[in-house]
Amino acid sequence: MTDISALQASILADVAAAADEASLETVRVGALGKKGSVSALLAGLGKMSPDERKSEGAKINLVKDAVAGAIAQRRAALKEAALEARLAGERLDVTLPAREQGASLGRVHPISQVMDELAAIFADMGFSIAEGPDIETDDYNFTKLNFPPDHPAREMHDTFFFEPDAHGRRKLLRTHTSPVQVRAMLTKAPPIRVICPGRTYRCDSDQTHTPMFHQVEGLVVDRSSHLGHLKWILEEFLKAFFETKSVSLRFRPSYFPFTEPSMEVDVRCSRKGGEIRFGEGDDWLEILGCGMVHPNVLRNCGLDPAEYQGFAWGVGIDRLAMLKYGLPDLRAFFEADVRWLKHYGFRPLDFPTLAGGLSAP
């Protein structure tokens, strides 16, 4: 009895001390295996008398059951501890904010944003977008637009010319998007209603000028188009773009080779506190140029000025972005500073619409 009790206590102590399932299995085999200590006691029952076998067998079976129960309990505890350790190692704290992905980290450049806003505004008026190449011929950039050879206006544009080809002709980087208007008139039959946004190039660089900048020009050609239509389009465009209920415009005579009459357009504004606000105040700000398409331009594009007339306007997209979003220096637009873009840029999925508001939040 004393030996059996001592054996049970020793085995249970080994079970409790088992650090993992492999150690526990070693204890089980040493106690309950074919050659284990408890199994050896059971094997010795055959040498006893019937009465001893009966009493000792019951005691040994109690020890066997106690050991088996302790082993099963310890194995369950070890499995639970292993599972908890694994879960702790693979744990993710879902309460932390998710890392920002590319779509939320990226920003739309103010120039791209303004181009999208212009597209939304003029699409609502029935205009389509026309595009053309950045590298143009002298004919499309100047001659068809009523610039005579050696005319001073050609020099005014500070043109970037390429080297002459085998025929002595020089291509150039377009100085305005007006060649796109020429291409539209050559390929489309009136009525024509297009806007022409894109890059333009002139040899100039300071706080408000860069060698490469962006323009948007508009063109309407029809049998009955007139300056009243032009005035209404410009008013609606500026009201929608600057998100104000009203604008006051002032038209001043000017000169452009491709329009006659030609006009500069000023918009009434307030300059209080160093901030320009439209729709209020008593100051004026020049914002764009416009006019009726010159009859010579219509003829050069295969249209009869006795049957058709049109009007056009042009404005700098970079200038619009500076005025609307308070950007002080044009050169920063092209310096590729990610910090600047993160501050002034727009979230990529906030598309401007007239219904939802042009300026993305």
* Residue 74 backbone phi and psi in degrees, to 5: -70, -35
Contact in structure between 194 and 219 (CB atoms under 8 Å): yes
70 confidence band (pLDDT: 50, 70, 90) = confident
**Residue 239 and residue 255: Cα distance in Å, rounded?**
26
CB within 8 Å of 55: residues ≥ 6 apart: none
pTM of the model: 0.69
155 confidence band (pLDDT: 50, 70, 90) = low
Asked if residue 157 has pLDDT above 80, the reply is no
Picking from 211, 269, 214, 197, the residue whose alpha carbon sits closest to that of residue 238 is 269
CA 121: distance to chain centroid? 21
**Residue 170 and residue 231: Cα distance in Å, rounded?**
38
pLDDT: is 42 or 21 the higher one?
21
Asked if residue 130 has pLDDT above 60, the reply is yes
**Residue 98 and residue 6: Cα distance in Å, rounded?**
59
1 confidence band (pLDDT: 50, 70, 90) = very low
Picking from 126, 123, 106, the residue whose alpha carbon sits closest to that of residue 358 is 123
**Residue 299 and residue 217: Cα distance in Å, rounded?**
20
pLDDT at 334: 83
- For 235-292, how does the pLDDT look when each residue is reduced to its tens digit (9 = 90+)? 999 999 998 889 999 999 999 999 999 999 999 998 887 788 888 888 999 999 999 9
- For 191-238, how does the pLDDT look when each residue is reduced to its tens digit (9 = 90+)? 999 999 999 998 876 666 778 889 999 999 999 999 999 999 999 999
